[in-house]
Structure formats: structure tokens, C-alpha cells
Amino acid sequence: METIKKINWKKPIIEHSKLTKYNYIVQYPENLDLGENFDIGTFSYINCKIGTHSTIMPGVTIGENSVIGSYSFVTKNVPKNEIWVGIPAYFKKSLEK
């Protein structure tokens, strides 16, 4: 059985609207819950809710106040105030203010 070496991973300091050491930005990080060894692409800007185990493809934009359901695979831009779910992700419903 092969042993997997643990990478000496350290959670970055995440401050509102500031680049982390891994070059991504989170807006309103107070309720952000990230596990160990997570990966957020360089120069990403987080301003929405993304469910666990979801994949957002490079170049895709998730609109403000939108929600991506757990286990979704997002291949298209998601407008603001919408819920998208599935593989591939599809529009489920609008969020009213």
C-alpha cells in the first residue's frame, strides 16, 4: 500500500475584498466555511453561494447573490439572483429580493 505524503498546507488569511496569498478574493468572508486542502483558482472573486463538491469551469462567472447547488458542474455564466443545479448545471429558479 502506497503512503500519500501530506502537503504542508496552511489556510490563507482571508479578508474582505483583499487578495489572499493564493491570489483570490472573497467578499464578506464571515460565513465562508472552507475545509482543509481546498483549492480556489487564482484570481477568482467570490460573491455568491456555492454548494459542496461543485465544479465551476474556468472563465465562468457566477452572478451576485446566485446559488449553485451541491454537486453541480457549471459550464455557463450564471446571471445574478438565480439558483442553478445539476450536471451540467441548469437554471432552477430566480431569487426575488
Identify the domain containing residue 18 by its residue range.
14-46
pLDDT of residue 36: 67
CATH number of 54's domain: 2.160.10.10
- 27 with 54, same domain? no
Mean pLDDT by 10-residue block, N- to C-terminus, for the chain (97 residues)?
Answer: 63 87 84 73 79 88 91 96 97 89
Output the pTM of the full model.
0.66
User: Is the same domain home to 53 and 30?
Assistant: no
How do 25-26 and 49-50 pair as beta strands?
unpaired
Report if residue 29 sits inside a domain.
yes
d(C-alpha 93, C-alpha 15), whole Å: 31
pLDDT of residue 45: 74
Residue at 24 is within a domain: yes
Q: Is residue 89 located within the same domain as residue 52?
A: yes
DSSP for 45-92, please give it.
EE-SEE-TT-EE-TT--B-TT-EE-TT-EE-S-B-TTEEEETTTTEEE
Note whether residue 6 is domain-resident.
no
- Residue 82 in domain: yes
- Asked whether residue 65 falls in the same domain as residue 91, the answer is yes
Residue 23 placed within a domain: yes
- 21, 40: one domain: yes
Residues 34 and 59 in one domain: no
